Amino acid sequence: MPTPRRRRPKPYQRRALTLLAGCGDAGCTEAVMRAHGFTAEQLAELVRDGFVTKTEERVVGTEEPFDIALFKLAGGD
């Protein structure tokens, strides 16, 4: 039985993983990832392919609480 070939990450995926590795355990917000040129579709593909996880967190302590999306390397919990 042939072994499945591992897909090599695309250049933007390697760039995203490098950025997330530099963010440490806290991860990066969607705004930071988008500021670095990643599209929503690319971020969704990273999550779908299992490279990263996305969580929603509520920020309080401001007049109006709001939610932010955090991206972290998969398996980094």
Any domain includes 1: no
**Tell me, what's the pLDDT at 4?**
61
**Tell me, what's the pLDDT at 2?**
63
Question: How would DSSP label each residue in 26-54?
Answer: G-EEHHHHHHTT--HHHHHHHHHTTSEEE
pLDDT digits (tens, 9 = 90+) for 21-53: 999 888 999 999 999 999 999 999 999 999 999
Any domain includes 16: yes
Domain count, the chain: 1
Domain containing 20: what range? 11-73
Q: Tell me the C-alpha distance between 17 and 64, whole Å.
A: 32
Any domain includes 50: yes
For residues 43 and 63, which has the higher predicted lDDT (pLDDT)?
43
